[in-house]
Structure 1
Amino acid sequence: MEKELSLLGKKTEYKQDYAPEVLETFTNKHPEMDYWVRFNCPEFTSLCPITGQPDFATIQIDYIPGIRMVESKSLKLYLFSFRNHGGFHEDCVNLIMKDLIKLMDPKYIEVTGFFTPRGGISIYPYCNYGRPDTPFAEMAKQRLINRH
């Protein structure tokens, strides 16, 4: 596993704008099992693309891995790279999900942004994906339909 990763144990370089290239994966040691992995990032920040004002959120990422899994330090650096990125809340959440799908081809993934209020309104965008032609595609549809 150590040969697959390049960020652990080295000096951390923080990218100043959106940087999906920092994401790294490692091999799932239990690909025959279906299990949840949850990441919780309570210090996510991005910028409003119109005003440039900062937006703050907790980003929650839940996924059922396939063959590859995202390495947590690279995920931290990736999420940090949004700090100077101008994107609406919904765009940031969908971009995170799409990048993670491209990176690791999970069986299932969902991403939720719990953005703090601005102007008296909180926004909680949610998106999900289930691998096509598997039971996870139906699961994604049902979880989206039944979202509260």
Structure 2
Amino acid sequence: MADSGNRTTEGLHALGSKTKYSMDYAPEVLETFVNKHPENDYWVQFNCPEFTSLCPITGQPDFAEIRIMYIPGERMVESKSLKLYLFSFRNHGDFHEDCVNIIMKDLVKLMQPKYIEVTGLFTPRGGISIHPYANYGMPGTKYEAMAERRLEYYGGTPVPSRP
């Protein structure tokens, strides 16, 4: 349990307690803590190489590595709660692109980061792999423009501009 005398762990319930896995999509398990350096821009990256969800059509499992990178604002996501959240997709039926966008939107709602991007490296099914990417930059800030630039260059090749 969280130590009420420690401001770092105050309000965190998953950290330090016995792990309880949800068998259904569970954004409510996500927890945050205060960023001690909100004035700094710095990257936080999470890699989840064992992500699974279900195909909404066939019910067969889909496997992926989910990569989450963000520049925190005032709050940061607690890693154990993130692990439990990502596990909750195990029996969730959605397309790869939907999973990546849902994860990004849930994290934006949770912690209001300056910038965030989520990539899904899904393993091949039928000879084709899918790697959806979604990002967000805080509106009205330099991070909004950053999101536009990073999306434009996602995959290493800029999209040609149209006249």
Q: TM-score, normalised by structure 1?
A: 0.99
Question: Per-residue deviation at 1:146?
Answer: 1.1
Aligned to 1:67: 74
Q: Deviations over 1:104-145 (max 9, x none)?
A: 000000000000000000000000000000000000000001
Partner letter of residue 129 of structure 1?
Answer: Y
Question: Per-residue deviation at 1:23?
Answer: 0.1
Is structure 2 residue 14 aligned with structure 1 residue 12? no
Aligned to 1:108: 115
Q: Deviations over 1:39-90 (max 9, x none)?
A: 0000000000000000000000000000000000000000000000000000
SS at match of 1:11: coil
> Is the deviation greater in 89-98 or in 1-10?
1-10
Higher helix share: 1
Match of 1:34 among 41, 66, 77: 41
Q: Distance in 2 between matches of 1:59 and 1:99?
A: 14
Match of 1:25 among 18, 27, 32: 32
Q: How does 1:128-147 map to 2 (within 5 A)?
A: 128-147=135-154
Q: Distance in 2 between matches of 1:45 and 1:56?
A: 5
Partner letter of residue 93 of structure 2?
Answer: G
RMSD (CA atoms) = 0.5
Aligned length: 148
Q: Deviations over 1:4-23 (max 9, x none)?
A: 21111111110001000000
Q: Distance in 2 between matches of 1:23 and 1:6?
A: 10
**Structure showing greater Rg:** 2
Aligned to 2:131: 124
Deviation >2 Å, runs of 4+ = none
Q: Distance in 2 between matches of 1:21 and 1:14?
A: 12
Percent identical among aligned pairs is: 76
SS at match of 2:50: strand
Structure 2 unmatched ranges of 5 or more: 1-7, 156-163
SS at match of 1:143: helix
Match of 1:3 among 4, 7, 10: 10
> Is the deviation greater in 23-32 or in 5-14?
5-14
Q: TM-score, normalised by structure 2?
A: 0.90
Aligned to 2:58: 51
Is structure 2 residue 91 aligned with structure 1 residue 84? yes
